[in-house]
């Protein structure tokens, strides 16, 4: 079935065609019909399967059909997301697919001054996309009214729970009308998520895509056993062997992100970092450069990169293995988006072998191992331009990083 065959507004069909949408993905094919009928939906699907469009397309059509003259903060649809990057991304999808319709969408999030957001909200919007923290702040301050919400969407619900937003979500429910359509989307499911989902939806249509293998079939993923101190040499080699490819490198902490960035700097590899210590403008600018291909290597922490739809990521590198098995699924899902193929490689040190076993147990199968011969391993270390690994250089870098942290803390005060 093609999108042109769906019973949706012609403006939306035109926008889908211009954006390159031809046939629905599995999650879109299964969720669009019940959403159009006004039913609650609980959808579980891997990252990269097209979940955003799965709710944006039918919601735009529903609101376009019901559109009335509304003033002020009479918002009809509320979309809750875990990060401001995801809020911006989903807002963009609503605006692109809603072009030439009468539907206006706007995204709000924390980490920036709320006054400009309040001023914008006074203009009136049909769809509001928001992180729970900023949404709760504006509602509790009386700047935002949610009594006329007809559709509630929770996207990346599992990540919202990981970030500790569950109390904010429950508190916000008190401000929403009980009679509403609720759409609940998540890449993973566990007892906590299930409990939250069923407390929000009513007689929901449950949809689960590829539950036996949480990693999308377009992603080829493998693991390489590498000593912790040698990882930078192998990252350097991978990048230099694939000079025109786009890399997304995941690390565990902000400090690690900066250290890997400096290691790449020393071997003349241009990269950028994405983590919580950066300002909203810095993060937005970095993502824009990466999306456009101006920068091809992005070194990121999980909080910053979760749920972001970045086109044409060729390689995902798990420089550090994630502490939680579910995060592995989200990381590797940054590549192989839609119908494109992707490659994800994990660097596993001896200290991380237990984490690897947990991930494999979660996946219910072993991850393919990349066999690195002793000769290849030695040649990778010897061929690197990164020779500044003496203790004085590393100590100097560590001191510089600590100075930067102090400066940032002073600015925040």
CATH topology of domain 219-408: Rossmann fold (3.40.50)
pLDDT given at position 217 = 80
Please state whether the predicted TM-score (pTM) of the whole model is above 0.75.
no
pLDDT of the residue at 235 = 97
- CATH 3.40.50.300 is the classification of domain 3-208: yes
Q: Is 1 exposed, middle or buried (0-12, 13-18, 19+ CB in 10 A)?
A: exposed
pLDDT for 410 equals 59
First to last CA, the chain: 56
Tokens of 157: 């619900």
In this prediction, residue 336 carries a pLDDT of: 85
Could you report the per-residue pLDDT of 111-124, keeping only the tens digit for each?
889 999 999 998 88
Helix (H) or strand (E) holding 192: helix 191-200
| DSSP 3-state of 107 | strand
Using alpha carbons, list the distances in angstroms from residue 316 to 250, 330, 335: 8, 11, 6
Residues of the chain with CATH 3.40.50.300: 3-208, 219-408
pLDDT of residue 278: 84
DSSP 51-92: HHHHHHHHHHHHHHHH-----TT--SEEEE-SSHHHHHHHHH
pLDDT in tens, the chain (413 residues): 789 889 999 999 999 999 989 899 889 999 999 999 999 999 988 767 789 999 999 999 999 998 754 444 489 999 999 888 889 999 999 999 999 999 999 999 988 899 999 999 988 899 999 999 999 999 999 999 898 999 999 998 888 887 788 888 888 888 999 999 999 998 777 888 888 888 899 999 999 886 566 777 888 999 999 999 999 999 999 999 999 999 999 999 999 999 999 999 999 999 999 988 888 788 889 988 998 899 999 999 987 666 667 878 999 999 999 988 888 988 998 898 767 889 999 999 999 999 999 999 988 899 999 999 999 999 999 888 765 454 455 555 566 666 666 666 555 55
If one counts every other C-beta atom within 10 angstroms of the C-beta of residue 340, the result is: 14
Longest CA–CA span in the chain (Å) reads 71
Per DSSP, what are the bridge partners of residue 152?
A: 78, 182
């Amino acid at each position: 079935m093609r999108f042109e065959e769906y019973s949706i507004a012609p403006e939306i069909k035109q926008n889908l065609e211009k954006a390159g949408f031809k046939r629905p993905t599995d999650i879109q094919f299964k969720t669009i019909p019940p959403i159009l009928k006004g039913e609650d939906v609980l959808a579980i699907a891997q990252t990269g399967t097209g979940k955003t469009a799965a709710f944006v397309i039918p919601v735009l059509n529903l609101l376009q059909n019901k559109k009335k003259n509304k003033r002020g903060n009479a918002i009809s649809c509320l979309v809750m997301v875990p990060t401001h990057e995801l809020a911006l991304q989903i807002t963009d999808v609503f605006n692109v697919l809603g072009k030439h319709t009468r539907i206006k969408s706007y995204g709000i999030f924390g980490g920036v001054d709320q006054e400009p957001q309040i001023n914008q909200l006074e203009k009136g919007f049909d769809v509001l996309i928001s992180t729970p923290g900023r949404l709760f702040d504006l509602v509790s301050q009386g700047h935002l009214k949610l009594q006329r919400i007809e559709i509630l969407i929770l996207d990346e619900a599992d990540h919202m729970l990981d970030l500790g937003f569950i109390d904010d979500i429950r508190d916000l429910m008190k401000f929403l009308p009980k009679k509403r359509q609720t759409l609940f989307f998540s890449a993973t499911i566990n007892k906590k998520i299930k409990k939250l989902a069923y407390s929000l939806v009513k007689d929901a249509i449950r949809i689960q895509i590829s539950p036996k293998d949480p990693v999308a079939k377009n992603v080829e993923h493998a693991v390489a056993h590498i000593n912790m101190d040698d990882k930078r040499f192998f990252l350097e080699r991978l990048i230099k062997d694939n000079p025109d490819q786009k890399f997304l490198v995941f690390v565990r902490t902000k400090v690690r992100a900066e250290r890997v960035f400096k290691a790449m700097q020393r071997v003349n590899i241009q990269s950028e970092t994405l983590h919580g210590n950066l300002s909203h403008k810095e993060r937005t600018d970095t993502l824009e450069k990466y999306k456009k291909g101006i920068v091809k290597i992005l070194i990121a922490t999980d909080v910053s990169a979760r749920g972001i739809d970045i086109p044409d990521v060729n390689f995902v590198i798990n420089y550090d293995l994630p502490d939680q098995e579910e995060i592995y699924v989200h990381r590797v899902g940054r590549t192989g988006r839609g119908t494109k193929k992707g490659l994800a490689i994990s660097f596993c040190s001896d200290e991380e072998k237990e984490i690897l076993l947990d991930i494999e147990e979660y996946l219910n199968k072993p991850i393919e191992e990349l066999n690195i011969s002793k000769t290849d391993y030695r040649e990778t270390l010897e061929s690197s331009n990164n020779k500044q690994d003496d203790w004085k250089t590393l100590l100097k870098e560590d001191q510089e990083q600590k100075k930067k942290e102090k400066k940032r803390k002073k600015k925040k005060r």
